[in-house]
Amino acid sequence: MILLEANLKLILPVALLGVVLLFFIYRMYKMRHLLSASNMPESSENTLIINDQNFDKTIAIGITLIDFWAPWCAPCRIQGPIINDLATDMVGKAKIGKLDVDQSKKVAAKLGIRNIPTILIFKNGEIVKQFVGVKPKNTLINEIEKYI
């Protein structure tokens, strides 16, 4: 009888731990599935694709905002459509681009990009503002307009 009571006291916590573990595994699977199955475009027709080869030329003249991101980064997937929308709104005022840090490691290393998404605003080749994390479109517009 005592042995049965001891086993019942153990079964409940172990079962609860198993349920919690299964829940987290399910959530991770679902998040991974959502990220990999995303059919949202990485860029719009107004969003520049920046890489190691065109980076210096792109930022040299005028105002340029670049979103440093990676396809596996969940916050970057949230920021991406905001950047694409911003690019459409800023046509003729500023250049808006995206740089995949996995594809363009030289630029990311040169600028010391350690966290993504990181957003840098350049004016005539010089960094004038840096954001880390997801930022709303209005914040980015207000910051760009300071330098126009």
CA end-to-end distance (rounded Å), the chain:
81
- Among 50, 63, 65, 76, the active-site one is 76
* Backbone Cα Rg of the chain: 22
Is 127 assigned a catalytic role?
no
- Among 59, 63, 65, 73, the active-site one is 73
Is 132 assigned a catalytic role?
no
Rounded Cα distance between 20 and 18, Å, is 5
DSSP 43: -
- Stated length of the chain: 148
Distance of CA 10 to the CA centre of its chain: 43
Rounded Cα distance between 118 and 113, Å, is 7
Q: Order of strands, edge to edge, in the sheet holding 126-132?
A: 48-50, 95-100, 63-69, 118-123, 126-132
| Residues with catalytic function | 73, 76
